[in-house]
Structures are given as C-alpha cells and as structure tokens.
C-alpha cells in the first residue's frame, strides 16, 4: 500500500470553472486529485485505518455519537464495533470525499454538493464540531499509505481541501439549524397567539352569557 519514488505528481493545469474561490491553487487542486487516484484503489482499507485512528483518539462521549457503529455490550458499559455498520459508514465518508474531489474542477457543483452533505449530516443529528475532529486521523492515515508522496506540500493541500469541506458543511448546518429554530419560535408564537385568542373569545362569550342572564332577571 506504500508508494515509491516513481509516483510523481504532475504540474497542475488550470481548473475548468472560474468564479468560485475554493481557497486552493490550481496546483493544490491537481495534487489532491492525483493523490486521490492512489487512495481510491484501496478505499475501504484506508478508510478503516482512518476510523480506527479516529476512534482511538476520541473519548467515550464522542464514540457514543456513533450508535450504529459503536454499540454498548451488556450492562457493563463495554463498547463493541459493529463491523458491517462500520464498513458501511466508512464507505459513505470515503465516497463523499471522492465525489468532492471529482468536483474540484467545478466549484459551483462542489459547493452545492457540500451544502447537501451539510444538510444530510444535520438530519442525522451530527454535531458540527465532529467534522473537524476527523482531520488528524485522515492526515495520519494518508501519511501511512502515501509515504514519500505525502510531502508537506501535499499535506497542506489536503488540509486546505478538508478544511474547506468542513467549513462549508458546518456553515450550512448552522444556518439550517438557525432557520429551524426561528421557524419553531414562529410556530410557538402562532400557537400561543391562537390559544390567547381562543381564551379571549371564550372569556367574551362567557361575559355575554352572564350579561344576558342578568338582563332576564
């Protein structure tokens, strides 16, 4: 799985689409794309290595945020990894990175895809801060696979790329959460106003009935 000196990264052409700044140079984009072509050959194994590193680094509180992957065993509180669910999750993450890499030449499409990923993560109750916790494991995993190809320049390119992905997704997750919160406030206000109006109408009707009863006497 290691790579020899013969695998050189070529100079980068200009990207196909202009107008959306991803924060990466053309050379950095090409370096990410070329190195991904090496990684995707054994995507599952590399992804499993990355998540193995990630789970070892994180505390139990964080691990409990992956209930389908890390499952409590019995009353003792010990945790067990569900291999099938882990592999499924790993492939989702790695394919997500791969699709983002494929769209590096099309920034508008990439941003749309990251917006979609952000909303999907929010729907699955993923905490925004968790996204940035994955980089150290990705960094270590890529370094062990790409070896001498994983130069400081390539590492910087990957870090900028992952940071860009995380920042965009976190932004969408925060915005969507704020909108949902505002909508809930509006609904709560409308419900409260409706109840107040109903109570007011009931009070007025009661007063009218009492008034009518008094006039009959």
Lowest pLDDT segment from 140-144, 172-176, 177-181, 197-201: 177-181
Rounded average pLDDT over 111-132 = 92
User: DSSP 3-state helix, strand, coil percentages of the chain (rounded to 5)?
Assistant: 75, 5, 25
Q: Where are the alpha helices (DSSP H) in 26-151?
A: 26-39, 43-57, 60-63, 83-102, 107-123, 128-133, 135-146
Residue at 41 is within a domain? yes
How confident is the model at residue 106, as a pLDDT?
A: 95
The span from the CA of 162 to the CA of 155, in Å, is: 11
How confident is the model at residue 5, as a pLDDT?
A: 36
Burial class (CB in 10 A: 0-12, 13-18, 19+), 103: middle
pLDDT score of 69 more than 60: yes
Residue at 49 is within a domain? yes
Residue at 34 is within a domain? yes
Domains of the chain: total: 1
Query: pLDDT-based confidence at 7, cuts 50/70/90?
Result: very low
* Highest-scoring range by mean pLDDT, 10-19, 39-48, 63-72: 39-48
The span from the CA of 35 to the CA of 33, in Å, is: 6
**Domain that residue 139 falls in:** 26-180
How confident is the model at residue 211, as a pLDDT?
A: 58
How confident is the model at residue 18, as a pLDDT?
A: 54
How confident is the model at residue 59, as a pLDDT?
A: 83
Residue at 17 is within a domain? no
Residue at 156 is within a domain? yes
Residue at 39 is within a domain? yes
End-to-end CA distance of the chain: 99
| 77-112 tens-digit pLDDT | 678 889 999 999 999 999 999 999 999 999 999 999
Report the DSSP beta bridge partners of residue 73.
Answer: 78
Portion of the chain with pLDDT greater than 70, in percent: 71
CATH label of the domain that carries residue 73 = 1.10.490.10
Residue at 56 is within a domain? yes
How confident is the model at residue 55, as a pLDDT?
A: 92
How confident is the model at residue 185, as a pLDDT?
A: 44
pLDDT score of 193 more than 50: yes
Residue at 202 is within a domain? no
pLDDT score of 20 more than 90: no
In Å, what is the CA distance from 109 to each residue of 20, 22, 49, 58, 100? Answer: 10, 12, 29, 33, 9
**Category of 125 on φ-ψ map: left (φ > 0), alpha (ψ -120 to 50) or beta:** left
pLDDT higher for 39 or 216?
Answer: 39
What's the mean pLDDT when you consider all of the chain?
81
């Amino acid at each position: 799985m290691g790579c020899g000196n013969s695998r050189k990264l070529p100079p980068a052409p200009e990207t196909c689409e202009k107008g959306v700044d991803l924060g990466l140079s053309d050379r950095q984009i090409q370096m990410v794309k070329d190195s991904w072509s090496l990684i995707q050959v054994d995507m599952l194994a590399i992804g499993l290595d990355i998540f193995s590193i990630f789970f070892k680094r994180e505390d139990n509180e964080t691990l409990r945020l992956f209930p389908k992957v890390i499952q409590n065993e019995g009353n003792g509180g010990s945790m067990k990894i569900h291999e099938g669910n882990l592999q499924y999750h790993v492939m989702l993450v790695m394919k997500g990175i791969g699709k983002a890499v494929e769209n590096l030449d099309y920034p508008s499409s990439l941003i749309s895809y990251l917006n979609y990923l952000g909303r999907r993560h929010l729907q699955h109750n993923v905490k925004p801060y968790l996204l940035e916790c994955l980089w150290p494991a990705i960094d270590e995993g890529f370094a062990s696979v790409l070896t001498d190809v994983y130069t400081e320049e390539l590492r910087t390119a990957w870090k900028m790329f992952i940071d860009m992905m995380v920042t965009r997704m976190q932004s969408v997750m925060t915005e969507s959460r704020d909108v949902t919160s505002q909508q809930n406030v509006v609904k709560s206000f409308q419900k409260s106003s409706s109840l107040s109006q109903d109570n007011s109408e009931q009070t007025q009707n009661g007063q009218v009935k009492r008034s009518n009863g008094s006039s009959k006497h």
